[in-house]
Amino acid sequence: MLERRDRYEDLYRDFRWTIPERFNIGTAVADGWAARAPDRPALFDYDPSGPARTLSFGALAAQSNALANALRKLGVRRGDRVALLLPQCFETVISHVAIYKLGAIAVPLALLFGVEALEYRLQTAGVKAIITNAAGHAKLKRIGDRLPDLRHVVVVEGTDGDGLGFRRLVADHSKHFQAEDTGPDDPAMMIFTSGTTGPPKGALHGHRVLLGHLPGVQMAYEFLPGQGDLMWTPADWAWAGGLLNALLPSLYFGVPVVASRFEKFDPESALLLAERMKVRTAFIPPTALRMMKGVSGIGARFSLDLRAVCSAGEALGRETFDWARTELGLTVNEFYGQTECNLVLGSCGAIGISRAGAIGLPVPGHRVAVIDGEGRRVKTGTPGQIAIARPDPVMFLEYWRNEEATAKKFVGDWMTTGDQGIEDEDGYVHFFGRDDDVITSAGFRIGPGEIEDCLTGHPAVALAAAVGKPDTLRTEIVKAYVVLKDGFAASPELAEEIRLWVRERLSAHEYPREVEFVDSMPLTTTGKVIRRIFRDRAKREAAV
């Protein structure tokens, strides 16, 4: 637990890790609360057309026990991989808890994945069983003959003869289960990297990963749990952000979580959910917050009760930071991490740990630095790679069956992130860009995040991506790809206006020399812009 302090220096100095010798995520997020307060709400299933359904901690513990018994009867054993291909729903959480209690390894997957992406991940992980819905089941039928390890498909919405029914399995098995005696380093989950810079890799985490997240979660959510806290995130629970920045830590602290199923993020619907459910704490990725900026009159139209809003996944930017203070009446607490080692830098507006354009200070319990290629700390204000020192409870165990990639992730005892950053004179780290995203133009190294943030500050711009386009004179020029807000039409005049908007606000070397309007922005399942697609497009254009 992170004990509240009024100064960051005291908060960091006084924190000590207490990692028990035996720990199981499943029992930690369900059984303890079930014993103390079985009727306490664990989950709410949001329904825009009616009242939300509720799942108590007692029901979560009992149903996860039944599912664990069913999976064990099917032959799933400790260390076996069990995939989850589900939206935000009760069954997703019940399945996670059951898998952890069983000592198996949860492999969360996004429903948005196409069949090739699913096939790659299921094959790589050697998944033995999968729990999915009808849509996921239909995808699996197309690739089932190429998945020799997959023995069982459990379907939450009934079956058509070649799958096992989730509800029947739960109903037919005992609600009592003795969880496996797991230690903090025993494998618990495998989360695949987003694959923005190469083939996705399975980052294997031990049960300690939940404990490793707790100080960062408490700091960023301004000392969670607070009175009346209710958590919601639009982030897919298959992503480390949705799962470990919101869902599991909230349940650990007894904070109920709202499940919602939006096919795509809609800012008006999200604000209505927050109002109706009286959401107090929320994890909202930067892209979603930028989309909310397009909603006019939020304060007048929505009665919100937000206490703390956090954001991560990519740089939030000054424009969105300032907008949230004005429109939402709070400071968005930005934090940083990645699938392999998450939530190691953070902010906390409640005690003044916040700076527009920065992703935060080191979270208590973590050692973070900006280093050069030899593993040495760089000088203040000098770009380098963000790195985390091992050992660290939140750090991954390994890349699944990929010793070479695991070894390459480290320089000495520093786990490298592939993210460029700059540390300022007060210790705040500013995100500069992924190694592959940094633009080299006329001798300058330019991070795309600041340009994109400035672009989305223009009244006509909804989303933007900035990449380097090869240029014989400057090595690269900055090119911007822009999605316009409704009501604005693409034109050469508007493109010129946007170019000058950035030049006037940033600098003559950072503004986009080319602006191209696009209908949509390619995003990963975690909401990050896939700049690689635009980089490749710009290279092809330059080669013509």
Rounded mean pLDDT for each run of 10 residues along the chain, 544 residues in total: 92 96 98 97 95 97 98 98 97 98 97 87 97 94 94 84 87 97 98 71 97 98 96 94 97 98 88 97 90 89 97 85 93 94 97 92 98 95 95 98 95 94 94 73 71 90 92 84 94 95 82 94 76 90 87
Return d(Cα 522, Cα 509) in angstroms, integer: 26
Which parts of 367-409 are beta strand (E)?
Answer: 368-371, 384-389, 398-399
φ/ψ (deg, to 5) at 371: -125, 165
pLDDT (0 to 100) of residue 451? 87
Contact 513, 478 (CB under 8 A): yes
Q: Encoding tokens for residue 380?
A: 């203040």
pTM of the predicted structure, to 2 decimals: 0.85
CATH number at residue 95: 3.40.50.980
Give dist(CA 202, CA 189) in Å, integer. 9
DSSP category for residue 270: H
Number of domains into which the chain is organized: 2
CA angle 208, 209, 210 (to 5 degrees): 90
The total of other beta-carbon atoms located within 10 Å of residue 56's CB is 18
User: In this structure, are residues 433 and 449 in contact, taking their beta carbons and an 8 Å threshold?
Assistant: yes
CA 217 to chain centre: 13
Round to whole Å and give the CA distance between 211 and 392.
11
> 315-343: b or e for each residue (b if 16 or more CB lie within 10 Å)?
bbbbbbbebbeebbebbbbbbbbbbbbbb
Angle at 311 between CA 310 and CA 312, to 5 degrees: 135
CA gap 58, 38 in Å, rounded: 4
Please, is 17 exposed, middle or buried when counting C-beta atoms within 10 Å of its C-beta (0-12, 13-18, 19+)? middle
Q: How far is CA 517 from CA 460, 468, 489, 498, in A?
A: 11, 16, 9, 11
Inter-axis angle of helices 318-327 and 448-455, nearest 10:
40
Evaluate whether residue 320 is within a structural domain: no
**C-alpha separations of 65 from 104, 180, 349, 353 in Å:** 14, 12, 40, 41
Tell me if 326 is assigned to some domain.
no
Q: Output Rg (C-alpha) for the chain, integer angstroms.
A: 23
3-class secondary-structure state, position 365: coil
The domain that contains 494 carries what CATH number?
A: 3.30.300.30
Cβ atoms 240, 339 nearer than 8 A:
yes
Is there a domain that residue 29 lies in?
yes
388 lies in some domain: no
Q: How far apart are CA 441 and CA 466, in angstroms?
A: 13
What residues form DSSP beta bridges with 411?
Answer: 414
Please, how many CA atoms are within 13 Å of residue 466, restricted to the half-sphere of its CB? 28
**Residue 97 identity (one-letter amino acid):** V
pLDDT score at 116: 86
pLDDT of residue 442: 62
Residue 260: count of CB within 10 angstroms of its CB: 20
Residue ending a domain, among 153, 182, 211, is 182
- Rounded to 10°, the helix 115-125/134-143 angle is 80
Structure confidence at residue 529 (pLDDT): 80
Q: What are phi and psi of 136, to 5 degrees?
A: -65, -40
Q: Distance (Å, rounded) from C-alpha 352 to C-alpha 87?
A: 36
Single-letter code of the amino acid located at 27:
T
CA distance 161 to 274: 39
Of 142, 160, 182, the position where a domain reaches its end is 182
**Does 451 map to a domain?**
yes
Of 182, 204, 237, which one is at a domain's C-terminal end?
A: 182
Contacts of 40 (CB under 8 A, 6+ apart): 33, 56, 57, 254, 256
* C-alpha separations of 110 from 84, 113, 476, 501, 524 in Å: 8, 6, 35, 37, 10
Q: Is residue 328 part of a domain?
A: no
Count the Cβ atoms, other than its own, within 10 Å of residue 447: 22
Pair 471, 477: CB distance under 8 Å: yes
Query: Domain limits at 479?
Result: 438-543
202-206 sheet: strands from edge to edge: 164-165, 152-155, 129-132, 81-85, 105-109, 187-192, 202-206, 398-399
- Angle of CA points 166, 168, 170, to nearest 5°: 70
pLDDT, residue 454, reads 87
